[in-house]
Structure 1
Amino acid sequence: MSGALRVLIVDDDALVRGGLTMMLDGVHGISVVAEAADGDEVCAAADKHTPDVVLMDLRMPRVDGITATRRLRARPRPPEVVVLTTFDTDENILHALRAGAGGFLLKDTPPTEIVDAVRKVAAGDPILSPRITRRLMDRAATQAGAHERARTALESLSPREREVVQAVAEGHANAEIAARLYMSVATVKAHVSSILTKLDMDNRTQIALLAHDAGLA
């Protein structure tokens, strides 16, 4: 990506917004272009300021972060979304990722890790803490019919695409997948794009969820 990463901060707490803005604006290569105090302001702010990444709170007075994420990700060329919240229930995590969020962090996450998450999610790499990932996978695996639905969905993919799905679920980056499967990075990216299209998904996190539901990882 060229130029500074553009970030929109969405939180109903002015002190939180101010703290995040101060922290991120002090980082080379990142610029906070706007703030929003509620989920109902997100789409208009995104249209006006074209952020690359949105840091999204969950609990807000009028429109919650999950609804705002879903609306945002349904639009053409949407920014990536990182949920940043104090509410880490299984339901919140799962609903946020299903809505299209590329990351889920708690507000007590160290500043350096928040910065790292902004950069990685902007580059297409999902961000979840190991604790949250394990809880999410356990919850998804217990949902009625999840395993069978996931296996059926994966049958629509080619054998090579299923290999890429498994590698994504195991947390490998594109370069690692390329080396492992003896293909170019460009080919890996093409496979990932094809998988997302065939499965009607938004990001690699959702691919990983499906793979875990199917028992591939």
Structure 2
Amino acid sequence: MTDDDGRIAVALVDDQPLFRSGIQMLIESQPDMRFCGGAANGQEAVELAAAQNPDVMLMDLRMPVLDGVAATRRIVEAAHHAGTDKPKIIALTTFNRDEAVVGAIRAGASGYLLKSAEPEFLLSAIRTVYSGYSVIAPGSVHDLFAHLARNPEPRQPDLQAIEVLSPRERDVFLLVAKGLANADIAEGMFLSEATVKSHVRTILAKLGVRTRIQLVAFAYEHRLLG
């Protein structure tokens, strides 16, 4: 939660004490942020989120007791049931092509970063996610999903996954999944940007995903991008 002077409350979950200490010092050096707690595993993360209600939580994906994907799912589901969108979760991973990243995003994470990210990039990502946007590690999120979606036995697109969408919504879905911004979609489809935003909200609701980055993961999982 933001405190009385409006600072962003940031929590950190990681099983390495030295890493936690370093990130805590970085957060506390920022005038617009405050560190509201650390946890060493996913179970502690769930408890920390409930007790402190942070604005943003940095979540390592590979931890003992309960991994980051499962912890993210529990925290996001608890927030959904409580009628809030906090905390925003940024998954942390050691390497870029980590299959756990897709699981974290599908579980509700607002994006992911490499643990080796530059301090300024990490701080910028926290502010970006707090503002309601997604973040990804440098490089293309599509490259990550395409790499993880490769299969030696090609599968047909799962068109049933989007049968709940109208034809127009399917067109918008595919353009969003390819990474186009609302303005570009509006221009290409001769629609207003407000209409595109409305379609995107409806698409997210119908598919049961909460963010555009989750929509990209959904598209790759169901082989809808070729």
Please give the range of the TM-score, normalised by the shorter of the 2 chains: 0.7 to 0.9
- Distance in 1 (alpha carbons) for counterparts of 2:224 and 2:47: 38
2:146 corresponding residue in structure 1? 137
2:120 corresponding residue in structure 1? 112
- TM score, norm. by length of structure 1: 0.82
Higher helix fraction (1 or 2) = 1
Structure of greater Rg: 2
Query: Percent identical across equivalent pairs?
Result: 38
Contact 1:93/1:136 (<8 A) preserved: no
Query: What is the aligned residue count?
Result: 213
Q: Offset at 1:109?
A: 0.9
Q: Offset at 1:136?
A: 2.1
**What is the SS of the residue equivalent to 1:193?**
helix
- Distance in 1 (alpha carbons) for counterparts of 2:155 and 2:129: 26
1:16 corresponding residue in structure 2? 19
- Distance in 2 (alpha carbons) for counterparts of 1:26 and 1:173: 34
Alignment gaps of 5+ in structure 1: none
- 1:125-204 to structure 2, matched below 5 A, reads 125-130=134-139, 133-142=142-151, 147-149=156-158, 151-174=159-182, 177=185, 182-185=191-194, 187-204=195-212
1:27 corresponding residue in structure 2? 30
Alignment gaps of 5+ in structure 2: none
Say which is worse superposed, 6-15 or 118-127, in terms of deviation. 118-127
Distance 1:179 1:125, change over 3 A: farther
- Distance in 2 (alpha carbons) for counterparts of 1:45 and 1:142: 38
- TM score, norm. by length of structure 2: 0.79
User: What's the Cα RMSD here?
Assistant: 2.7
Q: Offset at 1:88?
A: 4.4
Q: Offset at 1:55?
A: 0.3
